[in-house]
Structure 1
């Protein structure tokens, strides 16, 4: 099955450690942002987060590379989801930093 790749850079001024901490704090909430609900699995290897997002019978693999001034997001959309690449990429660009890097520890 072919996949449609999406690459989005999310710039930040948090530093690598704080960006990673915030992503770790928020990753469990990702499923709630996906229409119809989803199951999200994740695993860290150093400063790289691998995600598996399953919804509506499809599994999307994603990887986040946390760097000092940017989080590099790579998503592989399988099959028919590839047709949604542009809207998904636009959503990541507009809401990705808010979703992944917002500090919700005091809220």
Structure 2
């Protein structure tokens, strides 16, 4: 099994506001990436469990919201591992936009 892709994004919003922004913004963020489809998105308190599909490959993971950071962990199939570095940068950039812009 492959090592998970882990992205940690710091924020100063507190857990409640960060969770609110992520719940509202994730659907918009995913819709702007044509090759990505969300198969499952389920929130359990401060954790989102998800399954996504890209290029015919499924990936699953979770996102944990803490008081001062968000940590995303996703296990990619071998085909998508080739795009892990690009995905990590894109996830961090989108996350920073959601967690730092004023609402």
Q: TM-score, normalised by structure 1?
A: 0.81
Alpha-carbon distance in structure 2 between the residues aligned to 1:67 and 1:48:
9
Alpha-carbon distance in structure 2 between the residues aligned to 1:33 and 1:62:
20
**Map of 1:82 onto structure 2:** 81
**Map of 1:14 onto structure 2:** 13
Runs of 4+ in 1 over 3 A off after TM superposition: none
- Report how far residue 59 of structure 1 moved: 1.2
- Let me know the Cα RMSD of the aligned residues: 2.1
Alpha-carbon distance in structure 1 between the residues aligned to 2:38 and 2:70:
22
Find out whether 1:34 has 2:27 as its counterpart.
no
Contact persistence 1:4–1:82 (CA under 8 A): no
Alpha-carbon distance in structure 2 between the residues aligned to 1:59 and 1:32:
17
Contact persistence 1:22–1:103 (CA under 8 A): no
- Report how far residue 92 of structure 1 moved: 2.1
Instruction: Give the secondary-structure state (helix, strand or coil) at the position aligned to 1:60.
Output: strand
Aligned length in residues: 103
Contact persistence 1:4–1:78 (CA under 8 A): no
- Report how far residue 4 of structure 1 moved: 4.2
- Report how far residue 25 of structure 1 moved: 0.7
Q: TM-score, normalised by structure 2?
A: 0.83
Instruction: Give the secondary-structure state (helix, strand or coil) at the position aligned to 2:61.
Output: strand
- Report how far residue 3 of structure 1 moved: 3.2
